[in-house]
């Protein structure tokens, strides 16, 4: 079962014919790891997602309290505050799902120029990938760090991935189908699960197949895009599991980077 056409080509700009023919994705380039060293003052906006503890260093800053995984309505209330500031820095106090939701709505509303800092309460995949630290350490980085451009990984439904995604069959059963990362076939047939996570360097993501066999080393494959075609799959994204099954899924690098403060 081929999956090269999982993403409509109309979703991408300036396609390269040979690239699209094999992967369904044009070879878009994104400048990454560019540091923003402007000495102009940043305007801190703290978004407290849920009821987790607030590090002492953030107590002097007003915090907007939202849901553990904030939604569209909550961001609509926040955006006027961000838009009124010359150089806003959004400090997301919450887990990976909270950071992913924040970036999702910044991306969808074309506000990726906003600097974003993540203050996770405990260790998480995103904290590991981006080396933000946790708690007080992460809060100090959020206030005093420098914003750097990083690849932004999203799926074909417009949701950002910041930590990890795990794809299995329904109710945790084996995953049946075929998956590619760029030109590399990850598997055909039955596997236990497919894992995807962002990277701080280009091309932007990496993936490995869990075959279900013990003591087998992870074989990570890096690329710009992962595409899956399957009979039925369930996706867990940043520890949030979807309830519906899908027959196709794709994660790929957005054409714009995001600004991580660390």
81-93 tens-digit pLDDT: 999 999 999 999 9
DSSP string, 102-131: HHHHHHHTT-TTSEEEEE-SS--HHHHHHT
Distance of alpha carbon 24 from alpha carbon 179, whole angstroms: 13
- Tell me if residue 208 falls in helix, strand or coil: strand
> Domains of the chain (ranges plus CATH)?
9-28+155-254 (2.60.200.40), 35-152 (3.40.50)
Residue 157 CB partners (closer than 8 Å, separation 6+): none
- Dihedral sign, Cα of residue 65, residue 75, residue 233, residue 206: negative
The answer to pTM > 0.75 is yes
Q: How far is CA 15 from the centre of its chain?
A: 23
Residue 217 CB partners (closer than 8 Å, separation 6+): none
Please write the tens of the pLDDT for every residue from 124-163: 999 999 999 999 999 999 999 999 999 999 999 999 999 9
Residue 232 pLDDT level (bands cut at 50, 70, 90): very high
- Tell me if residue 146 falls in helix, strand or coil: coil
Mean pLDDT of 15-20: 35
- Tell me if residue 241 falls in helix, strand or coil: strand
């Amino acid at each position: 079962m081929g999956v090269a056409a999982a993403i409509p080509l109309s979703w991408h700009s300036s396609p390269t014919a040979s690239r699209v023919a094999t992967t369904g994705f044009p070879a878009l380039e994104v400048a990454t790891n560019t540091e923003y060293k402007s000495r102009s003052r940043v305007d801190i906006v703290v978004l407290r997602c849920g009821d987790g503890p607030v590090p002492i260093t953030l107590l002097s800053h007003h915090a907007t309290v939202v849901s553990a995984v904030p939604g569209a309505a909550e961001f609509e209330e926040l955006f006027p505050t961000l838009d009124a500031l010359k150089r806003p820095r959004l400090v997301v106090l919450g887990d990976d799902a909270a950071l992913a939701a924040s970036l999702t709505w910044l991306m969808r509303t074309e506000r990726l120029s906003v600097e974003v800092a993540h203050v996770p309460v405990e260790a998480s995949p995103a904290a590991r990938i981006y080396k933000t630290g946790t708690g007080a350490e992460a809060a100090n980085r959020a206030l005093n760090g420098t914003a750097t451009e990083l690849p932004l990984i999203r799926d074909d439904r417009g949701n950002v991935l910041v930590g990890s995604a795990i794809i299995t069959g329904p109710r945790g059963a084996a995953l049946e189908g075929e998956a590619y990362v760029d030109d590399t076939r990850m598997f055909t047939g039955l596997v236990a699960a497919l894992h995807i996570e962002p990277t701080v360097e280009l091309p932007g993501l990496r993936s490995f197949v869990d075959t279900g066999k013990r003591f087998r080393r992870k074989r990570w494959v890096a690329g710009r895009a992962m595409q899956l075609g399957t009979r039925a799959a369930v996706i867990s994204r940043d520890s949030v599991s979807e309830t519906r099954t899908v027959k196709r899924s794709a994660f790929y690098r957005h054409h714009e980077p995001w600004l991580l403060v660390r």
